[in-house]
Amino acid sequence: MSVKSIQKKAFYFTMMICVMVVGLLVYHQWLTDHILDRIEHERSTVNYFQMADTDPISKRIHRISDHTPNHFVKAAERSTSSVVYIIAYEKVEGSFFSEGFTREKGSGVIISEDGYIVTNYHVVKDADFIEITLEDKREFVAEVIGTDESTDLALLKIEAKQLPSLVFANSDSLQVGEWILAIGNPFGLKSTVTAGIVSAKARSIDALSKNDIESFIQTDAVINPGSSGGALVNTDGLLMGIFTAIISSNGNYEGLSFAIPSNLARKVIIDLKEFGSVQRGKLGISVTDVNADIAKKLKLNQITGVHVSTVNLNSAAAEGGLKKNDVIIAIDGIDIKNSSSFYEVINQYRPGDKLTLQFIRKNQISEQSITLRNHLNTTDYISVRSDKELRELGIEIRDLNSIEKARINSEGIMIISISKGSVIANTNMEPGFIVEYFNDQKVNTTQEFIKLLKETTGSIKLMGFYERYPGRYPYTFER
């Protein structure tokens, strides 16, 4: 064997030994660090309690130390005490149910320290008696202040003070993908908190009836029967919406849940508290979503906004200069992407409110200021009521507007519809009857009429007149 060959083998052997030594040193250092880290972890997270020598199971118990909670915990703590459990009882004649009642269960959200609670209309719509249970297990009987079937909202009141309440936040600020919490009472399991994200906004799902207002916040937070009327809150514990619906093939959660945006809910609730019904401003137009065909026909650069298909004669829109085939893209600086977002924004305003509409006409962007009107095409606040007590009689009523009051030189309320075969129909009263007196007591507003109706049983006499007939007419019925 040559000297050169021996030197070459010695070199490779030496290199192999060096690699092995380096490897052993690295492993030793890693093992030492790992053991030290483990010891430090045990010291920081575990306390040891020595057990008696006679304990056959263990010599010590591991107790995990406190850890810093995440932001879901704080949001839940701020919110759960403001969500209540609702049982709405309805009397059933000849029922096989115990005590002759059916029960509708749901949730509600305390929105003021003095006991105002918002929930869904469908939870309390037929209730004769409503029971509220707070998170601290106190129970109250609730009064219905007002309901709005179009948005599936209702306002209740309990006699209590210093209640924990949630604060309405700006639902327009919610972003798709943002974390949210759902708080309710699914299947009667009180104060249940689930988490999810905002999946979509301004969503219409045809869950309510025709002409109802749907512009839901869609989430994947779990809600089930009993969660209706519960709270959608953000990670700061602020109220962003009221849960109202799920899409399901079997009635239970399947991944989609929907909430009424807080901006819309807040306006409805304020109106119900102040007037007993919702004051809706109207433009007097019909709109449809802009689709590819409309965008091509009108030569639009993008497929967004709502297309004005009709403009009612002498309406607010007509007098404000809006025309058929205009495409509305913004209202008061808020982007309008579809008809759901359009109606959500419009229904946050009252008759008499002035809005600035941004629209496209012949490829030009224009702005126009328009004053909203009510369904009678005036700027008055008109209360239209169809409360449970009125439905039992078979009538809908409304306040008189300023023009009618001036024309007839009188105060009163108008009967606007009468159900066939109802209590009132049997008196031969006709729609258009203007009620001046309830059992000889003067009534000027729908709120006064409903208050008297709630307080009265037995014989009731309504005295009033028709504009188209001379004289005054009495109508008597039993309640």
Is 152 among the catalytic positions?
Answer: yes
- Return all residues near 333 (Cβ < 8 A) that are at least 6 apart: 356
Position 23: which residue type? G
Catalytic residue, from 79, 82, 122, 150: name it. Answer: 122
Q: Active-site residue 387, yes or no? A: no
| Whether residue 228 lies in the annotated active site | yes
The tokens for 80 are: 């759960």
**Catalytically annotated residue among 82, 228, 262, 339:** 228
- Catalytic-role residue among 148, 152, 271, 387: 152
Give the residue numbers annotated as catalytic, written as ranges.
122, 152, 228
